[in-house]
Amino acid sequence: MNLNIELLREKYLSGELKVEKVISSIFEKIEQTKNYNIWIYTLNKQELEPYLKNLKTKKIEDLPLYGIPFAIKDNINLENIPTTAACKEYKYIPKQSAFVVKQLIEAGAIPIGKTNLDQFATGLVGTRSDYGECKNSINPEYISGGSSSGSAVSVALEMASFSLGTDTAGSGRVPAAFNNLIGVKATKGVISTSGVVPACRSLDCVTIFAKTLSEAKTVFNVANKYDKEDIYSRVYTPSIKKAKKEFTFAIPKKENLEFFGDEKAKDLYIKAVEKFESLGATAVEIDFEPFIESANLLYSGPWVTERYIAIKDMITNHEETVNKTVGTIVKSGEKIDAINYFESEYILKKNRKYVDEVLEKFDFILTPTTGTIYKIAEVNANPIQLNTNLGYYTNFMNLLDLSAIALPAGFRKNKLPFGVTIVGDNFDEELLFEYSSRYLSKD
């Protein structure tokens, strides 16, 4: 069944389709795809009933997400449903839903269940889970991307109209690229992280996966509400920048580009640049080294200590329950001191000045979302280095306080998708949506 938000609304309004029919078809699909390890928990009929009953007294016209099914990454709370963060021993039952989940449900959306992820949202691969390796929606030999693995695949395989992920290092963009989806990583704090198991609390973002840009924007408009209980929440105040008919955008200079031997990915990136140029744009190469230097701080600098803080009890008292690769990464944050923090902070401040200069000259920056993609077996054989490769174009984003939208950008000969990311300053979401729309509308 086509779960496009606009299409479902039309059919609900005409009476052609009932919400119960949509939910029933989704659970048939869930049953057929269990070997993809997409879901950690799906709601039963009794658990779904309050959400369906709530819609009986509401008008479709009044709710932008009336009857729209969505999936929730299992580090985001849903009331009375277990949260595990992909660690069985960590499981707890939250008494209330995360702030963003509440906003979506109030707008009429129906939660289907909780999706698989790299444990404690530590990874870009989708293979580090107590609930199995999540498989790519197009070729199950390949990784789904992570950490928001199940969230992306649930949308790609039409078990949800949209889904929520999180993004600290790229988790809301990498799975989008690997499953041919839109991935919206808004400005830090614009979508509340109240009720989210923290990875790096000062950097974490809740993200949106959807098949189309218009669907992603519909969800974003509901989700971007200020949360006074979230110490990192920010009021969404869109920048006054307007999309231009003739515009310039920045791309990394050739010596900064890295595709890890994936020549087809390189070709597809060049085509994406040319496609933007065909819209009346000029691409200008910039020195990408400050972005790379910033990206390297995410796991070598003090922010890995935030990961240690987030699961300190588990890693110190129940280390055997933590995924081995996740444990290796998180434990490295235990010994980082204040000297490291301030040295890293000074580097970031320097590089942010450079970013300010770039974004004053150019309308946006265009990068590959990732330089390549790997098979599950390849990642299992070399988990940390290949994961690091996948973060080459993503790890800097939240450290430098930028906004981004991951966009589909064609397919390799083996039918695996490639993606690019359009990058703007904080609060540049409307600008990015407009340029993205032009790009996706171009034949």
Q: Which residues are catalytically annotated?
A: 73, 147, 171
Beta carbons of 280 and 438 less than 8 angstroms apart? no
Structural tokens at position 141: 């030999």
Q: What are phi and psi of 121, to 5 degrees?
A: 55, 35
Burial of 356 (0-12, 13-18, 19+ CB in 10 A): exposed
Show the beta-strand stretches assigned E in 181-265: 182-185, 205-210, 247-252
- Region at 67 (left for phi over 0; alpha for psi -120 to 50; beta for the rest): left
Q: Which helix (H) or strand (E) holds 402?
A: strand 402-411
Pairing status of strand 205-210 against strand 162-167: antiparallel
Pairing status of strand 39-42 against strand 182-185: unpaired
Structural tokens at position 400: 């430098």
Measured in residues, the chain has a length of 443
Instruction: Give residues with Cβ within 8 angstroms of 210, minimum separation 6.
Output: 5, 155, 161, 162, 163, 181, 182, 184, 216, 219
Pairing status of strand 402-411 against strand 417-425: antiparallel
State the residue for tokens 């077996």: 377
- Region at 430 (left for phi over 0; alpha for psi -120 to 50; beta for the rest): alpha
Beta carbons of 249 and 364 less than 8 angstroms apart? yes
Q: Which helix (H) or strand (E) holds 69?
A: strand 69-73
Angle, in degrees to the nearest 10, between helices 45-56 and 19-32: 160
